[in-house]
Chain A
Amino acid sequence: MSDDGAATGDDRTTDDGAAVVAAAEAVAERIEAERDHLTQLDSAIGDADHGGNMARGWAAAADAARDLDDPDAETVAKTVGKTLMAEVGGASGPLFGGSLVFAAGELDEGVTPETAVAFAETYLEKVEDRGDARVGDQTMVDALTPAVHTFKKSIEVDDLPPIEALAKAVDAAERGVAFTVPIRARKGRASYLGWRSVGHQDPGATSALFILEELLDVAADRLGVDVPETDASSPTIPDEDPDEAAGDSPEAASEDD
């Protein structure tokens, strides 16, 4: 995320595009490293192809992103999404890739805290609609929902620095992945197992977490800062009026800093 106020115009656009290319490359590398792990999770409750499909798709997506000539963030995100749709296969193609193509439009003015929140919300909404999944169905929605909610709240209510908001979102996603273990699958192939799906970690949610972890690393790297040590719990005062906190008054929330 380049939120360096000094960068303007074309520099800014190019910077953001390059950041998204770097993110795609980092995700491709990570998913490749986790290929066997993801396949192992999928073999317990699915058809044991998640690791291979995602690794192949992200490798192709990183290549496609790298081949773009001086692209802006929206173009990179769209290209990555389209490549994932074509290469990943199964339901993960339209869910991870199709949602990215759709949400990429939110980045038409580059990557800022505001556009990042809009992107995250649109992405989650699209995954929910396309997969007809909600929290508690043992899917990637269980990782994305806490991540997106925490990110939005950290930016809009707590007025935290974007990198800290993202770090909190990653912790939230990790808790979401853990939540998929003790619940029953209601969507996707694992749902055919019924009660036997209980006790298994969802591979799609796990992939979503890995992707978010890489986004955080790349963002910290490009900002030249360390990844903040934080967790998903809120810094806001517990007994404050929630209506007030949800409004446009970040001052009210920052007193707890």
Chain B
Amino acid sequence: MVGIVVVSHSERAAEGIAEVAAEMAGDTRIEPVGGDGKGGIGTVPDAIEDAIDAAAGGSGDGADGSDSDADGVVVLVDLGSAVMNADVAVELSGAEAVIADAPVLEGAVNAAVAATDPSATVESVREQAEAARDIEKL
């Protein structure tokens, strides 16, 4: 099963987006993460790494997510330094994780739907998340 991580500068935004995506997600693990760790706006690579490990189904007790039953993790991010911090976290984590170049909310919903497919892979979920760039609203 492919896991999903939602990264935002705001912890509450990350939680809210994960909540919306979870409506469509079945049993998929969706881990929200955000905030500077001190109640403010920002992101912290270590916290994102923990979220990736948790979404991978690992114990999250370090860099090694290899004991997981997951088929990898797709990471959705909001803006700027959150992208860089997610990039660092992907490097640090032992789990197979990729960042989707997609709008964070629409991408998370698309990814959640794609992840429920029994044959879903990291690549298929990322592709669907990135397809959210073309969603027209009006």
Contact = CB atoms under 8 A, between A and B. Distances in A.
B127 interface: no
A101 interface: yes
A89 B42 contact: yes
B18 interface: no
Contacts of A85: 44-46, 85, 88
A244 to B, nearest CB: 39
Interface in B4-55: 36-37, 42, 44-46
Given A86-B37, A89-B36, A102-B91, A94 B84 contact: yes
Interface size class of B (residues with CB under 8 A): 10 to 19
Given A86-B37, A89-B36, A102-B91, A131 B45 contact: no
Contact of A91 (B44, B46, B81): B81
Contacts of A89: 36, 42, 81
Interface string B80-93: 11001101100110
Interface in B83-119: 84-85, 87-88, 91-92
Interface in A1-41: none
A85 B84 CA distance: 10
B87 A130 contact: yes
A102 B84 CA distance: 13
Contacts of B84: 91, 93-95, 98, 130-131
A91 B37 contact: no
B-side binding surface: helix, strand, loop or mixed? helix
Contacts of A95: 84
Given A85-B85, A98-B88, A102-B91, A91 B45 contact: no
Contacts of A130: 84, 87-88
Nearest to B85: A94
A90 B42 CA distance: 7
A86 B46 contact: yes
Contacts of B80: 91
A130 B85 CA distance: 9
Interface string A212-247: 000000000000000000000000000000000000
Nearest to A188: B80
A16 to B, nearest CB: 24
Contact of A86 (B44, B81, B87, B91): B44
B49 to A, nearest CB: 10
Interface in A65-101: 82, 85-86, 89-91, 93-95, 98, 101
B88 A101 contact: yes
Given A86-B45, A89-B42, A94 B87 contact: yes
A95 B88 CA distance: 10
Interface string B43-78: 011100000000000000000000000000000000
Interface of B: 36-37, 42, 44-46, 80-81, 84-85, 87-88, 91-92
The 3 lowest CB-CB distance pairs between A and B, nearest first, are A94-B84, A98-B88, A91-B81
14 contacts: A85-B44, A86-B44, A86-B46, A89-B36, A89-B42, A91-B84, A93-B81, A93-B84, A94-B85, A94-B87, A94-B88, A98-B45, A98-B85, A131-B84
Given A98-B84, A98-B87, 5 more contacts: A89-B42, A91-B84, A94-B88, A95-B84, A98-B88
